[in-house]
Structure 1
Amino acid sequence: MSQRVVLQPGYILHLKPFRDTSALVELITPEFGRMGLVARGIRSPASKLRSVVQPFSPLLVSWSGRGELPNLIGAESQGKPLFLQADALACGLYMNELLMRLTHRDEAQIELFSIYDESLRQLGELRSSVTASLQLQQTLRQFEIKLLQSLGYGLLLAEEAGKGERIRSEQTYDYQLEIGPVAFADPHQEVFGFKVSGKTLLALAGNSMLESTTDRAIYKEAKHLLRFVLDRYLGDKPLLSRQLLRRKSTTPEICN
């Protein structure tokens, strides 16, 4: 049975050339989640949608058809495109790739869509400054944590696994996947997961998520903790956007 959907809020995650003038479009919407569309003729110079259907632009999208790849039949801007530049652009591509790799098609993503929209807008507001690097990292860590939570892989950050005792800032923990932080009884104890300080776990816990600190050592450890967790679900295939950040970033602490 053919389906027709009109004016659904959405963001383009990826565009891939298809045949002579068409493209395969991956987008995320709140009601239909991540989905694929065929945008026929969109790469033609005469296409009115060519400049509209672009990443990081809030859209209202319409499609029609059956099967896994319906046809894009319309798209219009829902506000101004978000202007991402330099490191913010690379971070936006990183977020898109995470969504492409970790979400399934045709599953409603109302909460995740809202998280993505908010994160993109934060990136779009960033301008070069002394604090821009920290703000970028705050946005990425918040997005990663909320993404994992929305997919059912939420992190235990405020209390010790199995005990319910509050994390202590002076304590060191072994963060074990699908278990959580386990306090080290012995500094020479074998590490089964990722070694992380209580200060970092507490900085990531709650709603502030790093906003209460400017300690760059905490930011670096938080980045590696989230990378350790995400890699478990991403598998062995490397993220292209992560490689791009390493090559192009003007702020080494974002990617090292």
Structure 2
Amino acid sequence: MSTAVQQEPAYVLHRRPYRETGLLVDVFSLNYGRLSLVARNGNSQKSPLKAQLQPFQPLLLDWRGRGDLKNLTHAEIRQGPGLTRTLSLYSGLYLNELLQRVLPAGDPHQELFAAYIEALTALSEALDVEPVLRQFEMAFAIALGYGFDWGRATDTGRPVAAGLSYGYHPEQGILQLPQAQTPLTDLPGKALQALAAGEPVSLDSRRVAKRVMRVLVDYLLQGRPLNSRTLFRQR
């Protein structure tokens, strides 16, 4: 049976040409998660969809159809912050790639949708994007079942101690007694404590957070590259 959806809050993650004049659009929506829509004639010069279906633009979408590929029938632009600085734009592309490549299709994540909006808003204003990216990466990890507590070792159940070093495994979290197969070790307990407390982030704790999240994201990607990382390296 064909279904019809109207006025669904969503964002474009990626779009590409589809057949002669259409667009194939990957979107992240509030109530339907990630899905792909066909905008028929959306790539033609006369179609308003070509200008409307832009990344980071808040939208209300209508679609109908059956199966995995639905037909987009209407798009309405809403007001939202813009990513005008280069670093903010690259950061937004990184968020979109994470969602597009890792998030299962058709799986609603309303809290992650809210975290995405919050991240875009913060990126539009922030000169320092790293805390924004780390916060979204943690929300992303929680949504996929890989959340962890910076301040507690999962293997011993004990709170992290400032004078000890710890490891990290994506499937286990913070480890007091890392094994040979633990992908990340030598994490200072003091930095983990600061991250757990949400204190003003020192250079040491920033590095720890970046290392941990890099390991987690690589694990979730399973070898799939991110084009946005290349952009960051070329700056």
Q: For the superposition of Structure 1 and Structure 2, which TM-score range results when normalised by the shorter chain? A: over 0.9
Contact kept, 8 Å, 1:8 with 1:29, in 2: the verdict is yes
Aligned mate of 1:156, from 149, 156, 175: 149
How far apart, in 1, do the equivalents of 2:163 and 2:103 lie? Answer: 36
Normalised by the size of structure 2, how large is the TM-score?
Answer: 0.92
> Which stretch has the larger CA shift, 5-14 or 66-75?
66-75
> Per the alignment, in what secondary structure is the counterpart of residue 123 of structure 2?
helix
TM-score, normalised with respect to structure 1: 0.85
Change (3 A) 1:21 1:149: same
Q: CA deviation at 1:238?
A: 1.7
In the aligned structure 2, how far is the partner of 1:177 from the partner of 1:220? 17
SS at match of 1:242: helix
Q: Is the 8 A contact 2:81 2:124 kept in 1?
A: no
Indicate which of 171, 196, 199 corresponds to 2:190: 199
Counterpart of 1:216 in structure 2 is: 203
1:230 has 2:217 as partner: yes
Q: Which AA in structure 2 matches 1:170?
A: G
Deviation at 1:40, TM superposition (A): 1.1
Report the equivalent of 1:240.
227
**Which digits, 9 at most, give the CA deviation of each residue in 1:76-130, with x for residues without a partner?**
112135234211100100000001111111111111111111111110122xxxx
- The count of residues paired between Structure 1 and Structure 2 equals 234
| Unpaired runs of at least 5, structure 1 | 127-131, 249-256
For the residues of structure 2 that align with 1:199 and 1:120, how far apart are their CA atoms?
30
Listed as ranges, the gaps of 5+ residues in structure 2 are none
**What's 1:177 paired with?**
170
Q: Does 1:102 align with 2:95?
A: no
**Structure 1 stretch displaced more, 7-16 or 215-224:** 215-224
Q: Which amino acid aligns with 1:7?
A: Q
Return the alpha-carbon distance in structure 2 between the equivalents of residues 163 and 81 of structure 1. Answer: 44
**Which residue does 1:251 correspond to in 2?**
none
Coordinate RMSD, CA, aligned: 1.9
Which one is further off, 45-54 or 2-11? 45-54
Deviating more after overlay: 18-27 vs 175-184 = 175-184
Q: CA deviation at 1:200?
A: 2.8
